[in-house]
């Protein structure tokens, strides 16, 4: 859990401040999972701090929800093209991906259970970046990733909003 909070500090996810009187504060909780290898053997205990996003109200705490989904046809075309050209494909997992999305709204969350500040126990965190569980987290991460890909020369497809790099020169 301390490693997760250290990642928050490195990523500048939040800042501790006095509890606002005119704004709702979202709770947080720890979620625990066992990470297993291909043989089903536990190789790591994983923890994640998540916000109680189910308490958020549309139009007040966020404007809209968003889930980026790639169409199955796009994945099939990518795999077929990779086989045809003998490309090697890699899958990556962006560690703490949602912690990289910038938040546009004012969102305050409670201090993590078990890790409240000794000197400021009634303070809350003002989020600068998104947390897992927030309704706006997927959109914020997608916006940051898509801006990066567009800057690197990728183009957005018209049909399914996935990205491609034009190799014709």
- The model's pLDDT over 139-153, given as tens digits with 9 standing for 90+, comes to 888 888 888 888 988
| pLDDT the model gives residue 169 | 45
- Range from 100-104, 157-161, 162-166 carrying the lowest mean pLDDT: 162-166
Rounded to an integer, what distance in angstroms lies between the CA atom of residue 55 and that of residue 110?
13
Phi, psi of 92 (to 5 degrees): -125, 155
- The string of DSSP codes covering 34-72 is EEE-TTS-EEEEEEEEEE-GGG--BTTTBS--------H
Rounded to an integer, what distance in angstroms lies between the CA atom of residue 142 and that of residue 154?
14
- Chain-centroid distance of CA 69 in Å reads 14
What band does 108 get if pLDDT is binned at 50, 70 and 90?
very high
| 76-102 confidence digits (pLDDT tens) | 988 999 999 999 988 776 667 777 888
| Mean pLDDT in residue range 120-132 | 91
| pLDDT the model gives residue 168 | 47
């Amino acid at each position: 859990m301390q490693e997760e909070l250290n990642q928050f500090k490195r990523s500048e996810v939040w800042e501790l401040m006095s509890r606002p009187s005119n704004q709702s504060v979202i709770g947080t909780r720890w979620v625990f999972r066992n990470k297993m290898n291909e043989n089903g053997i536990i190789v790591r205990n994983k923890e994640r701090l998540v916000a109680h996003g189910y308490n958020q109200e549309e139009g007040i705490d966020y404007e809209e929800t968003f889930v980026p989904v790639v169409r199955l046809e796009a994945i099939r075309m990518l795999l077929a093209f990779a086989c045809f050209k003998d490309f090697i494909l890699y899958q990556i997992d962006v560690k703490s991906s949602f912690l990289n999305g910038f938040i546009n709204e004012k969102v305050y969350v409670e201090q993590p259970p078990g890790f409240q500040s000794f000197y400021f126990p009634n303070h809350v965190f003002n989020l600068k970046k998104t947390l897992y569980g927030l309704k706006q987290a997927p959109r914020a991460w997608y916006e940051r990733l898509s801006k990066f890909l567009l800057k690197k020369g990728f183009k957005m497809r018209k049909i399914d909003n996935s990205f491609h790099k034009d190799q014709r020169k």
